[in-house]
Amino acid sequence: MAKGFSKQLSSLAFSLQKTYEKIITAKPSLFVVAISVVAVSLFLLGGGIYDILIQPIVAIVASGGRIISFYPYGITEQLLLESVIIMVFYAMGFTGFIIAYRSTKYAYSPRQAYRFLLVGCVLLLISYVLVEQNLIASFS
């Protein structure tokens, strides 16, 4: 019994060592690195550190059952839902930038390039308007 357990233990140690070596020597693609950098940036810009450290409430329920997602009483506080909404708006704006950039790949198909550029600009504009609208709403 002890011999079988010892063999299983050494086999487990060997497989863990091989897995560790694969993780250490792995080289992620440029796309994965870029997406990771953008995700971390969106997290930081949206107030993720504040959300982790302070652990704010998710939302405020006003009279009549209406949910308030932006903190109405000051500029030094924020709600969790506010952070998530802002992160989504920033991601939408970033997606607009990427789609507009990708429109340059279709130089020989102007119609398709124009569509991609239009969709990218519309996403960027919608994101900008929504972020500004929510920022103004939280300051007034």
Which has the closest alpha carbon to 131: 96, 87, 97? Answer: 87
pLDDT along the chain (140 residues), means of 10: 58 81 88 93 93 85 77 76 91 95 91 96 95 71
Residue type, 90: Y
- pLDDT on residue 65: 79
Task: Give whole-number Cα distances, 14 to 5, 21, 137, in Å.
Answer: 14, 11, 58
Query: Domain extents for the chain?
Result: 29-139
pLDDT of residue 34: 92
Whether the full predicted model's pTM is greater than 0.85, yes or no, is no
One-letter amino acid identity for 2?
A
The predicted structure's pLDDT at residue 56: 83
| Per-residue model confidence (pLDDT) at position 8 | 61
**Model pLDDT, residue 79:** 84
